[in-house]
């Protein structure tokens, strides 16, 4: 374990002690409150510095020669699955043992992460998925959560939400990417990057489907990928008539419904809708005779307006997305190749443990047609 990580772990332990005392009847002294804020800030700074350093190291290690070796090994293992007609686990590190070989699975997930995050609303708001998580995600490091804990401890108790009881549930997510044998026989040395891109996009689509499901979390009963829309959609904060459509008054009322719940707003607050609703609001005046539209310059009422076609046609979601925490867990993805002789295709499967945890349901509200 490197020195930076050891110091971060020590800081997190200190933060845990202060947080535990903070939720006790006695609370923290003014000096301890200042210490709490300082520890949070230091953890954020240390973690960001460490992430940047690791990224630079990985970038320098991934020389053209190393990447070529990884691509070639991926292709060789694919051909092995074809020749033996068995399932072959894809070894994600280079074949040669050199100083350039690093812990492979977390690094590989970084390759999957870009096409995955490109699919997510969270990414459009500058939020990142926590990766290589051991145990539970670090809630205080998420933008907005620190202020929420510090400023609204009483509100947490009133809402029956306890920081100590927030728990993410790692959930296995997987997909299969079929590739024709013709493509493999063509010695497509870039096969690896093509597979990873398709896997990342497929997992991103699945996460969006779950996050914006209008019903309670679907699929497996122990699914830890929670919808941020379901509860708000079932009990909309504001409703509009189909005859009049959405008005600026409705939009303001939607934001107000979150503010009155004492949710701390930050840069991750946004309106989210599908393309049809986006077009309607872009052509609807703030009021009769006013030249300004409800949606202008990609913003509504000063907040980003995000388009995703995973939202239903009749609704607009307003929320503080830093309260929805995405995480990927230790050991990273498990990837295997298996030949299907009936279809003459190679099937690449991936399994990875992810979670999407809602820290506070009150941070999201829905505007819906009556």
Q: Is residue 239 part of a domain?
A: yes
Tell whether the model's pLDDT for residue 57 goes beyond 60.
Answer: no
What span, in angstroms and rounded, lies between the C-alpha atoms of 249 and 270? 17
Is residue 161 very low, low, confident or very high in pLDDT (cuts 50, 70, 90)? very low
Q: Is residue 5 part of a domain?
A: no
- Per-residue pLDDT averaged across 5-33, rounded? 75
Which two three-digit tokens encode residue 346? 């190679």
Tell whether the model's pLDDT for residue 5 goes beyond 70.
Answer: no
As beta bridge partners, residue 358 has 324
> Helix, strand or coil for residue 82?
helix
Tell whether the model's pLDDT for residue 272 goes beyond 50.
Answer: yes
Tell whether the model's pLDDT for residue 142 goes beyond 50.
Answer: no
Q: Is residue 75 part of a domain?
A: yes
Q: Is residue 28 part of a domain?
A: no
Residue among 228, 243, 315 nearest 278 (CA) = 315
Which two three-digit tokens encode residue 105? 């699975």
Q: Is residue 130 part of a domain?
A: yes
pLDDT at 296: 93
Q: Is residue 19 part of a domain?
A: no
Which two three-digit tokens encode residue 276? 């049809």
Tell whether the model's pLDDT for residue 143 goes beyond 80.
Answer: no
For the chain, the maximum distance between any two Cα atoms, rounded to a whole number of angstroms, is 73
What span, in angstroms and rounded, lies between the C-alpha atoms of 77 and 336? 9
Q: Is residue 27 part of a domain?
A: no
pLDDT at 100: 37
Tell whether the model's pLDDT for residue 358 goes beyond 90.
Answer: no
Which CATH number is 295's domain given? 3.90.1690
Tell whether the model's pLDDT for residue 175 goes beyond 50.
Answer: yes
Q: 128 is in which domain, residue-wise?
A: 62-370
Q: Is residue 76 part of a domain?
A: yes
Q: Give the chain's domain count.
A: 1
**Contact call for residues 43 and 11 (beta carbons, < 8 A):** yes
């Amino acid at each position: 374990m490197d020195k930076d990580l050891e110091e971060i772990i020590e800081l997190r332990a200190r933060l845990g002690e202060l947080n535990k005392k903070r939720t006790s009847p006695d609370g923290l002294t003014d000096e301890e409150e200042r210490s709490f804020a300082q520890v949070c800030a230091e953890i954020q700074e240390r973690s960001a510095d460490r992430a940047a350093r690791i990224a630079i190291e990985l970038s320098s290690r991934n020389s053209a020669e190393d990447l070529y070796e990884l691509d070639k090994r991926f292709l060789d293992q694919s051909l092995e699955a074809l020749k033996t007609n068995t399932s072959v686990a894809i070894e994600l590190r280079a074949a040669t043992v050199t100083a350039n070989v690093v812990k492979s699975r977390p690094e590989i997930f970084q390759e999957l992460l870009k096409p995955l995050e490109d699919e997510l609303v969270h990414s459009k708001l500058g939020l990142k998925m926590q990766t290589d998580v051991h145990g539970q995600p670090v809630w205080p490091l998420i933008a907005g959560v620190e202020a929420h804990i510090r400023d609204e401890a009483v509100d947490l108790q009133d809402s029956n939400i306890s920081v100590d009881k927030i728990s993410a549930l790692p959930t296995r997510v997987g997909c299969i990417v079929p590739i024709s044998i013709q493509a493999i026989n063509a010695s497509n040395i870039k096969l690896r990057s093509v597979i990873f891109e398709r896997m990342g996009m497929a997992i991103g689509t699945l996460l969006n489907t779950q996050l914006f499901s209008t019903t309670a979390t679907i699929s497996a009963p122990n699914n830890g990928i929670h919808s941020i829309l379901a509860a708000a959609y079932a009990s909309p904060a504001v409703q509009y008539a189909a005859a009049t459509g959405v008005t600026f008054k409705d939009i303001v009322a939607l934001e107000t419904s979150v503010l009155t719940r004492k949710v701390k707003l930050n840069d991750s607050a946004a309106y989210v809708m599908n393309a049809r609703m986006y077009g309607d609001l872009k052509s609807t005046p703030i009021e009769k005779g006013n030249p300004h539209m409800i949606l202008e310059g990609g913003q509504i009422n000063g907040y980003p307006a995000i388009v995703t076609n995973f939202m239903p046609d009749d609704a607009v979601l307003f929320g503080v997305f830093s309260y929805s925490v995405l995480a990927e867990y230790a050991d990273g993805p498990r990837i295997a190749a298996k030949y299907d002789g009936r279809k003459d295709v190679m099937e690449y499967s991936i399994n990875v443990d992810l979670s999407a945890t809602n820290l506070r349901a009150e941070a999201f509200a829905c505007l819906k047609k009556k």
